[in-house]
Amino acid sequence: MIFRLGELFCGPGGLAFGATHADIGNGDAIVHAWANDYDFDTCQTYTRNICPHSPESVICCDVRKLNIEQLAPIDALAFGFPCNDFSVVGEQKGFNGTYGPLYSYGVKVLKSHRPLWFLAENVGGLKSANDGNAFQKILQDLNECGYQIYPHLYKFEQYGVPQARHRIIIVGIRNDMDVTFLPPSPAPYQEIDNTCATALEIPPIPADAPNHELTRQSPQVVERLEHIQPGENAFTANLPEHLQLHVEGAKISQIYKRLDPRKPAYTVTGSGGGGTHIYHYREPRALTNRERARLQTFPDDFIFCGSKESVRKQIGMAVPQRGAKIIFEAILKSFAGIPYESVPCNVDE
């Protein structure tokens, strides 16, 4: 079976790349139908790498202005919804309004297009937002659209991804489908060498690779990094007085933190100022965007569009395509009736 995929908040294409490269050996596949994001550079990146022959299928606009009813039919929906401002207040006044919580636009697509399944993604902290009320409200709304839901906290470093990245992913199967989904087990991926050194060095990144420009480092930053050992940060390293950071309150562990080559990287984010770029384990410098993309498991021929700062943000907000591919393949196997090694959902509904 061929599943036509629609996406909201599509980002640069981590979910889409994983979906369209999912292969379970029986001819079943997921194909791009349409996608939406509000950021121009992000949409350019997505179009270039996912659907270069149908640029019109990527709709670049605020989701609140998207004409959902006019979107083409789909069999599946993916959305990595923003949820940082969600709160449950009274009767959810404005819940269906223009400025309601953005996940509700995924709910609108589920109600109007009735895809066979969906995949929703968010940060691991979603479970505790608003004392857990936000997460329960989201699960309830998705369930009431007519779907059996399977929420699970994935630790992508357990699936061969060279980065510690924890995300809640909710898979939903339409209630009238005789299909049960379970999260794929990480067991088959335990022997994969997912250290950041392997990701960055094998094979070597060509000097002229796209998105591989070095960040200009000040002499003081270079000197500071030379005193920080792999795995240390600006607060755990033994720094001379003139290189120490005098910060009151919380001391964020990722400030000027150098990677440990023997371990997966720490979480790649879209930030870059104030010592948050992610720093090389051997050289006293920040990683390039291409190196950050390697940690997010994007192939070197996946080219990001926009300024260096824009590309950094795109890479940081993406889903590692290798982890996404594993989950999409589990969905395909569930629909095809092909057994696979699974684990119970670890997030209570």
Sequence length of the chain is 349
CATH number at residue 169: 3.40.50.150
Q: What is the pLDDT of residue 246?
A: 82
Whether 339 has a pLDDT exceeding 80, the answer reads yes
Per-residue pLDDT tens for 187-213? Answer: 999 999 999 999 999 999 999 999 999
Distance CA 342, CA 344 (A): 7
Q: What is the pLDDT of residue 87?
A: 33
Distance CA 313, CA 306 (A): 10
160-161-164-169 Cα dihedral, nearest 10 degrees: -100
- Let me know if 241 is exposed, middle or buried by CB neighbors in 10 A (0-12, 13-18, 19+): exposed
The reply to whether 83 belongs to the active site is yes
Distance CA 318, CA 167 (A): 11
Q: What is the pLDDT of residue 275?
A: 85
Average pLDDT over every residue of 263-276:
88
pTM (two decimals): 0.93
Count of domains forming the chain: 1
Give domain status of residue 199, yes or no: no
CB 294 within 8 A of CB 199: yes
Per-residue pLDDT tens for 141-161? Answer: 999 999 999 999 999 999 999
CB 132 within 8 A of CB 23: no
User: How far is CA 24 from each of CA 27, 28, 30, 41, rounded to the nearest angstrom?
Assistant: 7, 7, 11, 32
Whether 252 has a pLDDT exceeding 70, the answer reads yes
240: cis peptide before it, omega within 30°? no
Give domain status of residue 69, yes or no: yes
Whether 22 has a pLDDT exceeding 80, the answer reads yes
| For the chain, percent of residues with pLDDT exceeding 70 | 93
Stretch (H or E) spanning 155? strand 147-155
Q: What is the pLDDT of residue 249?
A: 64
Q: What is the pLDDT of residue 172?
A: 98
Pairing outcome for strands 2-8 and 58-60:
unpaired
Give domain status of residue 228, yes or no: no
Give domain status of residue 94, yes or no: yes
Whether 336 has a pLDDT exceeding 80, the answer reads yes
Q: Which of 10, 43, 51, 83 is catalytic?
A: 83
Average pLDDT over every residue of 166-180:
96
Nearest to 115 by CA among 147, 83, 144: 147
Q: What is the pLDDT of residue 97?
A: 38
Average pLDDT over every residue of 41-56:
98
Comparing 265 with 98, the larger pLDDT belongs to: 265
Taking residue 301's Cβ as centre, other Cβ atoms within 10 Å add up to 8
Domain region containing 141: 2-189+319-336
- Let me know if 289 is exposed, middle or buried by CB neighbors in 10 A (0-12, 13-18, 19+): buried
Average pLDDT over every residue of 168-196:
97
Stretch (H or E) spanning 148? strand 147-155
Average pLDDT over every residue of 279-302:
97
Distance CA 289, CA 215 (A): 9
Give domain status of residue 221, yes or no: no
Per-residue pLDDT tens for 54-87? Answer: 999 999 999 999 999 999 999 999 999 875 444 3
Whether 276 has a pLDDT exceeding 90, the answer reads no
Q: What is the pLDDT of residue 349?
A: 59
Give domain status of residue 9, yes or no: yes
Give domain status of residue 114, yes or no: yes
Q: If you average pLDDT over every residue of the chain, what do you get?
A: 91
Nearest to 172 by CA among 95, 109, 233, 215: 109
Average pLDDT over every residue of 103-130:
89
Give domain status of residue 296, yes or no: no
Average pLDDT over every residue of 30-34:
98
Q: What is the pLDDT of residue 99?
A: 37
Distance CA 166, CA 195 (A): 16
Comparing 215 with 43, the larger pLDDT belongs to: 43
Whether 238 has a pLDDT exceeding 50, the answer reads yes
Least-confidence region, from 52-66, 73-87, 169-183, 258-272: 73-87
User: How far is CA 199 from each of CA 62, 116, 246, 264, rounded to the nearest angstrom?
Assistant: 35, 36, 34, 9
